Amino acid sequence: MPSSRDVVFVDGVRTPFGRSGPKGLYAETRADDLVVRVIRELVRRNPNLPPERVDEVAIAATTQIGDQGLTIGRSAAVLAGLPKTVPGYAIDRMCAGAMTAVTTVAGGIAFGAYDVAIAGGVEHMGRHPMGEGVDPNPRFLSEKLVDPSALVMGMTAENLHDRYPTISKQRADAYAVLSQEKAAKAYADGKIQPDLVPTAIRTAEKGWGLAVEDEAPRPGTTMEGLSGLKTPFRPHGHVTAGNSSGINDGATGCVVAAAEVAEELGLAPKMRLVSYAFAGVDPEVMGVGPIPSTEKALRLAGLGISDIGLFEINEAFAVQVLAFLEHFGLADDDARVNAYGGAIAYGHPLASSGVRLMTQLARQFGERPDVRYGITTMCVGMGMGGTVIWENLA
């Protein structure tokens, strides 16, 4: 029986995230081409990694049809020019797709089945709106297995405001303003650009172009500006387009490897995987998912929340981050949380976001040798949470 091996995160990149829709960056760009761009960039940036040494390509997509179908991990690997000997597969855990791609190949590496793998995700929500082509079993509602609101993410966020009456719309808006400010500062300080892959785009109207930065951030967002936004999920509600992530297109990818193999190849890993956990919660309050998954991951690692020096929490909705912070006794503006801003600014192309969190954490680890442990965590549609704990190798 092989003994378990240490798993390390070597490098992560992503395309700039676009706004979905007919005017968005990637309106006329295929989803699989976004993944190809990411895989090729990972190979280019890591010349010590012979492409034939990649043992697996795991790519997540929530809507696995059209240009996001056809076992996208394999098809994108072939399109990216990896040797035909490199296998691949597709994975789906809604928002936590890329995160699950990483934890799944990490398990294979720890077990000894793989030495090196590429893991990531893509979501082209312009081409494939959330829920396109799905056919929920009528028993979900007829047998009251879930509340009808469970299938609409914005309504689950309103439900979370009900469960946490201390989290007002004003607190959610203030958190959203802070996320936009942090993202603007991260861009100004050049923290985001090193891990963005310039991506060719084309429209019939304008011809060829290059996407070099995220399209979604709204620097200069104010409380006043947010206060007047509609609450589409409930009259006089709390959840608006301003305190939620947008509807976006984009792809992410990373190289993960066995620590000893990374050393043998001369790769420079940024962080070590300590533990991970997924947990289920009531689907109608899916935003609380990161709480039990984080408790479980901490327990598995033998750590407490006070051991964590940096947090990357996916900002599907401000209320969901605030619920997490409130549960663990952290301040709304804790400097350890989403230091570069989050999905409220950058966007959330569902299955790709998990690796964006990891890439941003790895970049922060490099700047903060004083921090030993960090967390990437997110809520997941249908009532789940996912958490990965990482150790800083800087």
Any catalytic annotation for residue 128? no
Q: How far apart are CA 125 and CA 239, in angstroms?
A: 20
Q: Give 1's contacts (C-beta < 8 A, 6+ positions apart).
A: none
Cα–Cα distance measured from residue 333 to residue 9, given in angstroms and rounded to the nearest whole number: 28
> Which of these is catalytic: 95, 128, 238, 254?
95
Signed CA dihedral, 64, 65, 70, 76: sign only: negative
Among the listed residues 124, 128, 238, 379, the single catalytic one is 379
Whether 379 is catalytic: yes
**Ramachandran category for residue 171: left, alpha or beta (phi over 0 → left; psi -120 to 50 → alpha):** alpha
Residue-by-residue DSSP string for 284-314: GGGGGTHHHHHHHHHHHHT--GGGEEEEEE-
Beta strands (DSSP E) in the chain are 7-14, 18-19, 56-60, 88-91, 116-124, 199-203, 207-211, 248-258, 271-280, 308-313, 373-380, 384-392
Contacting residues for 276 by C-beta, under 8 A, at least 6 apart: 103, 106, 297, 300, 386, 387, 388, 389
Give the type of residue at 276: Y
Active site residue 348: yes
Q: Which are the contacts of 149, defined by CB distance < 8 A and separation ≥ 6? A: 155, 156, 158, 159, 284
CB 157 within 8 A of CB 317: yes
Q: Is 196 helix (H, G, I), strand (E, B) or coil?
A: strand
Q: Which residue has the tokens 């047998």?
A: 143
Contact call for residues 381 and 94 (beta carbons, < 8 A): yes
Asked whether 112 and 56 are in contact (CB, 8 A), the reply is: no
Instruction: List the one residue out of 357, 351, 34, 43 whose CA is nearest residue 192.
Output: 357
Closest-CA residue to 93 (of 298, 387, 394, 389)? 387
**Catalytic entry in 124, 128, 238, 348:** 348
Residues noted as catalytic: 95, 348, 379
